[in-house]
Amino acid sequence: MEVIAIVPAYNEEPRIADVLDVLTHIDYFTGIYVVDDGSIDDTSMVANRYDVTTIRHSQNLGKGAAIQTVLDMTDGDYYLFFDADLIGLTKSHVDALIEPLIRSEDIVMSVGTFKAGSKVSVNLAQKYFSILNGQRCLKGCFAKQLPSLSWTRFGVEVFMSKYADIKHYKVCYPVLYNLTHYRKEEKLGFKKGFLYRLQMYKEILYTYMVYKKYI
């Protein structure tokens, strides 16, 4: 059984080690791929300290393209996606994502939902917009069936969920307790973080508007 982890990363030098510390100690992964999507910091250097495959994009192509790069070069039975800025990731979270797909022939994708008491804004976002969560597991047959994700940027999660919905595929939503992530404003400061968040929302909204053209 080929189980592949994908970690898209853009300027995550201070944070990615916490994620890789967990993933590299999970014995059922047959491959862990970090895609440094045009970072201008030392994200790749940190990733190279671990037993992972690091791929570097020379420019920032977006999260969807980072994921597509690995899908194009691998043939997994299961693909798990993890953001590089997670706080509190454990093996139990990883298990919670993959186990429903192993147990059920019908479920093709799991979408994690954060439940972390200290970050109220994150919890509210997860409650009402869980479709945006990047912590997912996809069966390989579903991942390979997806149209190219390269254009989606931050809309990649929306596109995957909308595709599953249109095709009437079954998706589950396991709760990932005590897991959260850094907000853009925490990473970049209020002004830069706010502008970056606006760009993210713009890309997500664009995907909502045009996704049917790509399915």
Tally Cβ neighbours within 10 Å of residue 199.
Answer: 13
pLDDT in tens, 141-184: 999 999 999 999 999 999 999 999 999 999 999 999 999 999 88
Phi, psi of 101 (to 5 degrees): -75, -35
CA dist., res. 48 & res. 186, Å (int): 25
Find tokens 């997994």 and name the residue.
76
pTM of the model: 0.92
pLDDT band at 91 (very low <50, low <70, confident <90, very high): very high
CA dist., res. 180 & res. 133, Å (int): 10
pLDDT in tens, 99-124: 999 999 999 999 999 987 544 444 44
Written as one letter, the residue type at 208 is Y
Written out in words, the top-level CATH class of the domain with range 3-214 is alpha beta
